[in-house]
A and B are shown apart, each in its own frame.
Chain A
Amino acid sequence: MAFLDRRQFLQLAAFGGAVFSSALPGAAHAAADDFYFVQLSDTHWGFEGPENPDARGTLPKAIAAVNALPEPPDFVIFTGDLTHTTEDGRERRKRMAEFQQQARALKVREVRYIPGEHDAALDQGKAYSEFFGPTHYVFDHRGVHFIVLDNVSDPAAKLGEEQLAWLQADLQAQPRDARIVVFAHRPLFDLYPQWDWATRDGAQAVELLQAHPNVVVFYGHIHQENHHMTGAIAHHSAKSLMFPLPAPGSQPKRTPVAWDPSQPYRGLGFREVEAEPAEARYVLSERPVTQG
């Protein structure tokens, strides 16, 4: 059967239907179907400021845009900073409850979460875990092994020895050519340490991951797209759904990019990731807030 990727499928389906299969006879990952998921990031629920006059309206618009996609994603993942931090534990939990209520509007089978430092650093992930479960975990989906790392619950931006040992044990249980996708909030590499855009012991995680040739990392935190390679590992950051941040080192302080009334929601958006496990390939499509 001829190979059709998801985009070809959608094009054909628009003309009256098509059979969708990515099975490649003889391929090591022949059983793995193509699929896609959506990454949303840095929603900062609870933020108030001129950087986003529609602070409470942006996430619902993005959710509506995801729900309007022509084919529902296999899952949606929020890569941290779900809420904007507050020192008041009661208010923190209120924001998490409100965020969770918003996310329930997503018309997908599964929604996954990871914490950002705004969610977890001030109480080492306590409130986050009450609402969203473990701060680091793994799951498998259609031939891809997903690893969620927590580099935020330690306020000093460390994974820590215990989590690194856990990662090492998990990787040792995977075949060398396993398709592995890592989610983290902060970059695992030193993107711009002068703005704290790094993970203090991230290099140790990258070294462990380097033993596998098919690894991709998706992260948030920096509120803009960035694409970087460490050896064979690609690292992709996603846009925010609250306010954009400036390019690394482009200005003295990392203050948010000002809201432009003539171009509302500029620099904000979410990402579609089409996974082709048989080819260990990931096609990224960046989407704006207000369109599906």
Chain B
Amino acid sequence: MKQAVFALFAVALLFGSPAAAETPQRIVSAGGDITEIIYALGAGDRVIAVDTTSNHPAEVSSKEQIGYIRRLAAEGILSLQPDLLLAAHDAGPPTAVEQLRAAGLRVELAPKGDSMDGVLAKVRFVGKAIGLEAEGSALAEKIESEMKAALAVAKGYSDHPRVIFVLSERDGAPLVAGSGTSADAIISLAGGDNAAGGFPGYKPMSQEAIIEAAPDVLLMMSQTVERLGGIDTMLTRPEFALTPAGKNRRYVAMEGMLLLGFGPRVPEAVRTLATELRGG
């Protein structure tokens, strides 16, 4: 083992280390969108570990798990001997990130991106960080053109259904996406109106307020629907049964990372959501 390390070191010296620094071979990825971008750039085989928010593509399930993105353990990550931690903007806690840097690990935090431009910036950032700058730009351009097509699909509909996104259900007051959330962003990209845009962030919303908001469509993550016992259970709850969504049984359940991840699949998310919102 030691000899192998020495040999590697010698090789690195021979070929010059700067190139090795720019093309990290052992990447730890934290953030589902970041992981998807790395895979979309064809560098998935260089990923050695991912966080719990990374669930796409299916191959990531065979990678090491580093836990939840906001609760990273510095020493655990170091034990994997990575040469890059590539993480979403909200990776933490800050002390763990500092400790990783102090131990000599290269840490790159991607820019926040819950918008069209944000996605493109993230893709370019990831490409640069893993030494695939040209591929990153190409992928960004591809996503941009796909996005234009998807937005054209969304704009092709003249109606703007009122959508309510329910993150989870607790104590009779569903946790609903207000303004400034990724759910709010994707709803508006798909040409819908967030029926709960009057407050910021995810908040429990009173049953009567939901009835008053009169959403046409109930939007949920498919994982949540499954966990809460199926869409019928949700639609027959009084707060939804009395809305147009409940009366007409109009709902959309989409995989969470696709819907809210704002990764390379965001054009697909916009197109799917736009058509599904109008009843497929």
Chain B associates with chain A: no
A interface residue numbers (CB < 8 A to B) = none
B residues sitting closer than 8 Å to A (CB atoms) are: none
